[in-house]
Amino acid sequence: MERIKSGITGLDEMLNGGFLPYSANLVEGAPGTGKSTLGMQFIYNGITRFDQPGLILTFEEFPHQYYSDGESFGWDLRSLEKAGKLRVIMTSPEVSQASLAQVDSHIQSVIAEIGAARILVDSLSHFDRLSEDPVARRGLLYGFINSLRREGLTSLLTRESPALFGEIEGPEEDVAFVADSYLLLRYVEIESSIRKALLVLKLRGSDHAKDIRQFEIMHAGIEVQSKFEGREGIMSGSPRRMADSFVEAFVKR
Amino acid sequence: MSNSDPEAYQEWNPFPRRSSPPGGGADLAARLMDDMDPEVLDFLKTTVNSFVKWDLVIFFSENPNTTDTAVNLARYIGRDVGTINTELDDLVEAGVLVQYQAGDLKIYSLTTHPLMRERIKHFVEASVDRQFRVKAIYHLIRGMR
């Protein structure tokens, strides 16, 4: 099956070739883990390497933040906008949801104008303020995600995780249920230094890597590296050496 | 710098020295605008005739793909929604913004009309100049009286 490649070193291999076409892909992580960078890289690579124009829908950051962040990786987003390959739209969840529910709305005309194939929605966390009722919120998200599919977009949806380390808590599973794939970015403390981990928790309709990989934000963007060898409890944020666990489980008894 | 030295005052004072007695405000305003680009002056007089409209025009110029409600736009420019409602509608009437309805939401975007985009660009470029801003602010304050 054809895949929508992220072009991010190591990630497409984890995704068994890339994201599925027209799929909604959730990237969740704590502040600073690299969700927006991963999203921008997905859009930038789409335009420059795969000739797939893209849209960035921002609910919080001003567009100049993306231009400036992009510049630090050598991605000239302004030029791509001028060339009609990219649009950075500043809006709100209620407007994007209502616009996409209509026919010929502003957002739809932008999608058609540039022939967008990819979209970054940054971030879905802002949908939380639309309704306190989890059932209603899930309905809104479901409608929104389906409207992106209907428009022929492969989407990358970011969501903030409140916890810096360890397991997330709270009623956050609604989006993960609706999304086609679910990527988790985590901080991990190893020998007094902070590293970053990436895990593909779910990829609907496809096999995917099950191991937890290290990644770094390098000068040209994100690079997914090798898996964490010889450690367990990575997603807890404080992994232990496997040997320590063995000792704890069998020797110390 | 001492304010008692009239020549020194003239150096930093953005407004030319009065040649008419106090009260000749209309003359002063006219003289201040004399060296302004007529197109920009017209845009200032007819379209960006308040500080809130100025903020909105600058905001949309910097973020031309914004599409949002008055409540959120007010948040983006750090104003009160009650303050910007009328101003947004004036800018729609002037052709700077377009307004459309999505469900219950009244949404504003920057016009895509090339001539208006050019006028906005011209105004924003002019407002980078401090002297222009000082004169324009004086003009707006006079208009508020």
Q: Is the pLDDT of residue B141 over 70?
A: yes
Q: Which residue among A89, A102, A105 places its CB closest to the CB of B65?
A: A89
Does some domain include residue A242? no
Q: For chain A, how many structural domains are there in total? A: 1
Residues of chain B positioned with their CB less than 8 A from the CB of A108: none
Instruction: Give how far B72 is from chain A: nearest CA, Å.
Output: 7
Structural domain for A148, as ranges: 11-228
Residue scoring higher pLDDT (A166 or A55): A55
Burial of A135 (0-12, 13-18, 19+ CB in 10 A): exposed
Q: Does B65 reach chain A within 8 Å, measured CB to CB?
A: yes
Q: Is the pLDDT of residue A246 over 60?
A: no
Q: Does B109 reach chain A within 8 Å, measured CB to CB?
A: yes
CB contact under 8 A, B72 and A92: yes
Predicted complex ipTM: 0.80
Residue A137: pLDDT band by 50, 70, 90 thresholds?
Answer: confident
CB contact under 8 A, B105 and A105: no
Instruction: Give how far A90 is from chain B: nearest CA, Å.
Output: 4
Backbone angles phi, psi at A64, to 5 degrees: -65, -25
Q: Which of A148-157, A187-196, A203-212 has the lowest mean pLDDT?
A: A187-196
Does some domain include residue A126? yes
Q: How far apart are CA A74 and CA A121, in angstroms?
A: 22
Please tell me the predicted confidence (pLDDT) of residue B12: 42
Angle in degrees, 0-180, between the axes of helices B38-46 and B114-126, rounded to the nearest 10: 100
Residue scoring higher pLDDT (B127 or B57): B57
Q: Is the pLDDT of residue A45 over 90?
A: yes
Interface test with B, best of A87, A95, A126 (most B CBs within 10 A): A95
Q: pLDDT tens digits for A27-44? A: 999 999 999 999 999 999
Instruction: Give how far A76 is from chain B: nearest CA, Å.
Output: 16
Cβ B123 vs Cβ B44: under 8 Å: yes
In this structure, what CATH number is given to the domain that contains residue A85? 3.40.50.300
Residue B128: pLDDT band by 50, 70, 90 thresholds?
Answer: confident
A98: nearest CA partner in chain B = B102
3-state secondary structure of A119: strand
Please tell me the predicted confidence (pLDDT) of residue B4: 45
H-helix or E-strand spanning residue B11? helix B6-12
Q: Which residue among A90, A98, A105 places its CB closest to the CB of B66?
A: A90
A181-190 and A193-203 beta bridge pairing = antiparallel
Does some domain include residue A37? yes
Please tell me the predicted confidence (pLDDT) of residue B132: 83
pLDDT, chain A, mean: 89
Q: pLDDT tens digits for A165-177? A: 666 554 455 777 8
Does some domain include residue A236? no
Q: Is the pLDDT of residue A229 over 50?
A: yes
Residues of chain B positioned with their CB less than 8 A from the CB of A130: none
Backbone angles phi, psi at A166, to 5 degrees: 80, -165
Q: Is the pLDDT of residue A67 over 50?
A: yes
Q: pLDDT tens digits for B10-48? A: 444 444 444 444 444 555 666 666 677 888 888 988 899
CB contact under 8 A, B65 and A98: no
Does some domain include residue A6? no
C-alpha distances in Å from residue A144, one per residue of A147, B23, B36, B65, B105: 5, 60, 48, 20, 16
Residue scoring higher pLDDT (B24 or A18): A18
Please tell me the predicted confidence (pLDDT) of residue B25: 53
Q: Does A105 reach chain B within 8 Å, measured CB to CB?
A: yes
Please tell me the predicted confidence (pLDDT) of residue B35: 74
A104: nearest CA partner in chain B = B102
Q: Which of A74-83, A119-128, A228-237, B67-76 has the lowest mean pLDDT?
A: A228-237
Q: Which amino acid is at A34?
A: G
Q: Is the pLDDT of residue A236 over 80?
A: no
Please tell me the predicted confidence (pLDDT) of residue A228: 77
Q: What is the dihedral of CA A129, A133, A139, A145, to 10 degrees?
A: 30
Please tell me the predicted confidence (pLDDT) of residue A106: 87
3-state secondary structure of A167: coil
Q: Does A60 reach chain B within 8 Å, measured CB to CB?
A: no
Please tell me the predicted confidence (pLDDT) of residue B88: 97
Q: Which residues are bridge partners to A203 per DSSP?
A: A181
Does some domain include residue A69? yes
Residues of chain B positioned with their CB less than 8 A from the CB of A107: 67
Q: pLDDT tens digits for A106-123? A: 899 999 999 999 999 999
Does some domain include residue A247? no
Residue scoring higher pLDDT (A227 or A101): A101
CB contact under 8 A, B67 and A89: yes
Token pair recorded at residue A247: 């000792």
Q: How far apart are CA A8 and CA A107, in angstroms?
A: 27
How many CA atoms does the CB half-sphere of B114 hold within 13 Å?
0
Share of chain A above pLDDT 90, in %: 67
Which fold is adopted by the domain B36-144? Arc Repressor Mutant, subunit A (1.10.10)
CB contact under 8 A, A98 and B103: yes
Contacts across the A-B interface (CB distance below 8 Å): 55
Residue A178: pLDDT band by 50, 70, 90 thresholds?
Answer: confident
Q: pLDDT tens digits for B64-103? A: 999 999 999 999 999 999 999 999 999 999 999 999 999 8
Q: How far apart are CA A184 and CA A195, in angstroms?
A: 14
CB contact under 8 A, A102 and B76: no
Does some domain include residue A2? no
Please tell me the predicted confidence (pLDDT) of residue B139: 78
